Amino acid sequence: MEQTKTIAQAARGLHGTVAIPGDKSISHRSVMFSALGSTPVHITNFLHAQDCLSTAACMQALGAAVTFESDTELTVCGHGLHGLQEPSSIIDAGNSGTTLRLMMGILAPQPFLTTFTGDASLHKRPMGRVIKPLTQMGAKIYGRVQNTKLPITVVPAGRRLSGMVYESPVASAQVKSAILLAGMYADAPTTVVEPFTSRDHTERMLEAFGVYTEKEGTAVTIRPVGSFTAPEAIEVPGDISSAAYWLVAGAIVPGSSLLLKNVGVNPTRTGILDVLRAMGAHIALQNERVSGGEAAADIRVEASVLHGTSFGAEIMPRLIDEIPVIAVAALFAEGDTVITGAGELRVKETDRLQAIADEFNKLAPGSVEAGADSLVIHGGTKVQHASCFSYDDHRMAMSLAILGTAGAGVALERPECVNISYPAFYRTLQDLQQ
C-alpha cells in the first residue's frame, strides 16, 4: 500500500469477525497510573499505536520501568505516587492531546521542572482549558500564545496545590482527569462539576489502584491520596471509537454482517450505539461482561435501512470522537441528520466540522452544511468517486475510507495518519471485503 495515498474501493458487502484493538483512553491511563505505583502491573491488549506509545515514552522519561513483551503486552513499574523523577530532556507528547493534558495534571504538583513538546498538530491545539484550572490550584505552567500552546513548561509550585471546586465550562474527560489527578496531591478535596457527565475511565481506573472518587450528579470529588495500591494486571477492552468504523460500515454497506469482538461498552462511551439504533441500525450486544471495572461485549451489526436523526450537546461527551463516522452513516440514511453542540470538534487534530463539510462535499456535492457548532447532513445525496485529504487526522482518514467503501471509492491523500490509533485499519478493511 502506498504511503502517500490509498484507494478505498466500493464494496459489495463486508463479512467476518473483527478483533477490536485496545481502547486508546484506557491504554493511556493504564500506563500512567501503573507508573505511579510501586509494584509491577502487567497490561494486556494495550493499543500499540503512536499516541499510546507517546505516553509510554513519557513515563519512561519520568523514571518508570516500561517493558514490552509484545506489541500489545507490557509491564510497568514505578517508584510510588511521589516517586517520579525529573526528566533529562524535553518530553515529546507526539500527536497525543490526552498524554499532554493528563500529564500536566500529574506533573503540576511535582518538585521538578518538565517541558513538553509535540508534533506540528499538537502545537496548534489549545491547552488553556487545562492550564487555567491547574493554575487556580496553584500550579505554575507556562506556554506560548497566552499560556495556551506548546512548548509548555511545568515549574514546581513551591507548595502543595490547593483543593477547589471547579465549574468546568465544557464536559471534557481530559480536563476533568487533569484536575482530579492534580487533586490527588492537593491539600484538600477537589471537585469538578461538568455541564454533562464526560467519560469516566479515570475514575474507574483509579478505583483499581485503591483510589475512590465521590460522584453526585455531574460532580466528581477526589480527596488527597497518600499511596497507590497497584493491581497485578489490567486487561484493556477494545476501543469503541475504533469499533465505530465497523459499526457504520456494517450498517451501510449492503449485504454486510460483522461480529466485533471485545468492545468496551462503558456507558459514558456508547452514544454511537444509541444514535445508530435511533437511525434504525441492526445492532446486538452478545457475551456482555465486566473486566477491570469496564463493561465489554461482542457486537453484531448487519446491513440496515437507516433514516436521519437529530442529537445535540447532551449526548456529545459520549460520542464526540465518533462524529465523523456518524456523519458517514447519515450520508447513507433517508432524510436529514442534524448534529448540534459539536463545537469541540473545531479544536481536535484538525477543525473536524469544516473538514467533514469540505471532504464529504467532494464525494457527495451539497451533502453537508457546517455551522459554528453544527452539521446538517442531507442523506441520500448521490456519492461519486473523488480524491480527499486526511488533514493528518486519523479519524477523518478512517471515516473517509468507510465512506468510499460504501460509495464509489475514494483516493485518500496522507492516509498513514491512522497509525495514531489504528495501524491495522486498512488491512482489516481489505480482509472484510474478501
Residue 4 has pLDDT above 60, yes or no: no
Mean pLDDT over residues 262-283, rounded?
Answer: 97
Task: Identify whether the C-beta of residue 42 lies closer than 8 Å to the C-beta of residue 208.
Answer: no
Taking only the tens place, the pLDDT of each residue in 363-399 is: 999 999 999 999 999 999 999 999 999 999 999 999 9
Taking only the tens place, the pLDDT of each residue in 207-240 is: 999 999 999 999 999 999 988 999 999 999 999 9
What amino acid is encoded at 247 in this protein? L
- How do 73-77 and 65-70 pair as beta strands? antiparallel
Residue 358 has pLDDT above 90, yes or no: yes
Domains in the chain (CATH in brackets) are 5-21+237-432 (3.65.10.10), 24-219 (3.65.10.10)
Farthest-apart Cα atoms in the chain, separation: 63
The rounded mean pLDDT for the chain is 96
Confidence band of 246 (pLDDT split at 50, 70, 90) = very high
The predicted pLDDT at position 370 comes to 98
Residue 2 has pLDDT above 50, yes or no: no
Round the CA-based radius of gyration of the chain to a whole number and report it: 21
Place of cell 491547574: 134
pTM for this structure?
0.90
Taking only the tens place, the pLDDT of each residue in 5-29 is: 777 787 889 999 999 999 999 999 9
d(CA 51, CA 394): 11
Task: Identify whether the C-beta of residue 329 lies closer than 8 Å to the C-beta of residue 336.
Answer: no
Q: What is the length of the chain?
A: 434
Give the residue from 301, 302, 298, 320 showing the smallest Cα distance to 311.
320
Q: Which residues contact 145 (CB under 8 A, 6 or more apart)?
A: none
Residue 43 has pLDDT above 90, yes or no: yes
Q: Catalogue the active-site residues.
A: 321
Confidence band of 293 (pLDDT split at 50, 70, 90) = confident
Task: Identify whether the C-beta of residue 55 lies closer than 8 Å to the C-beta of residue 99.
Answer: yes
The predicted pLDDT at position 1 comes to 41
d(CA 366, CA 403): 15
d(CA 359, CA 353): 10
Cell of 102: 493528563
Taking only the tens place, the pLDDT of each residue in 71-83 is: 999 999 999 999 9
Mean pLDDT over residues 355-369, rounded?
Answer: 98
Residue 152 has pLDDT above 50, yes or no: yes
